[in-house]
Amino acid sequence: MTAPRTLLASARKQLEEAGIDSPDADAAILLAHVLDTDRNRLLLVDDVSEDQEKTYTELLARRAEREPLQHLTGVAYFRHVELAVGPGVFVPRPETELLAGWAIDRATAIDAPVVVDLCTGSGAIAKSIADEVPGAEVHAVELSEDAYPWAVRNLTGTGVDLRQGDMADEFAELDGTVDVLVCNPPYIPLEAWESVAAEARDHDPDLALFSGQDGLDAIRVLERRAAELLRPGGVVGFEHADEQGPNADNGGAPAVFAATGRWQDVRDHLDLAGRPRFTTAQLAT
């Protein structure tokens, strides 16, 4: 039997030496998972059994090898919702919550809004919109055969119209009627493979990460599809890499929309670290 405080101190050191960015938080989250308790209640536990300690040791070793924390616990938290995640689906990132928040704010301002989430992955954005804008008609699509079952699991019972298909041509019956379109597309350039964090590169699906030599191929498809789906005056928001902001040599992700002449009020937005993170635009009326 070992006290939680002792285990956490050792675990923190192990994860720190492995290069984990948040060793304290990860050590605590994993121990809480093993003990089936809340992280804030860990120090109220007197002792950890030998079997629990063994399980914890095994999970720590996997985390030290850069297996995503969410794969080890099976859960990701996004805004106010809980998501089941695991191999085959992209683990939602905190910075994407800002894009979801933008979509929620825009949808909230409209009576009975029609919202579409392209490249839904785990269903994180779609589920958040359904949760926070109960009057919205929400549609979502995912291409990957591996990711789609996770979206089904997360969106069942939410009222979201989920489909498996290609964002390039799904929802033809909605053309010209959508109020808010949101997308977290793949956007990493193929040449940047080695610079991607091990958790993403080795465990997130390539389909959710990479998008051509400059990383903008999916965003180009999105621009065309958004122009078809949105009503005049409808809005689109999408995430991009921080290197694809408006100061990029080629104008970055915003330029993909600005160059076509179909859009007005093309804006780029920063994440909480002050880095370019997502672009929004309004279909010209």
| 81 contacts 127 by C-beta, under 8 angstroms | yes
Whether 149 has a binding-site annotation, put simply, is no
Spatial contact of 277 and 265, defined as CB atoms under 8 Å apart: no
Q: How far is CA 48 from CA 14, 34, 53, 272, in A?
A: 18, 10, 6, 37
Please check if 87 is assigned to a binding site: no
Binding site annotation covers 142? yes
CA distance 127 to 132: 9
219: left (phi over 0), alpha (psi -120 to 50) or beta: alpha
- 276-283/263-270 β-pairing: antiparallel
Main-chain dihedrals φ then ψ at residue 138, nearest 5 degrees: -110, 130
Binding residues: 142, 184-187
Binding residues for S-adenosyl-L-methionine: 142, 184
Binding residues for substrate: 184-187
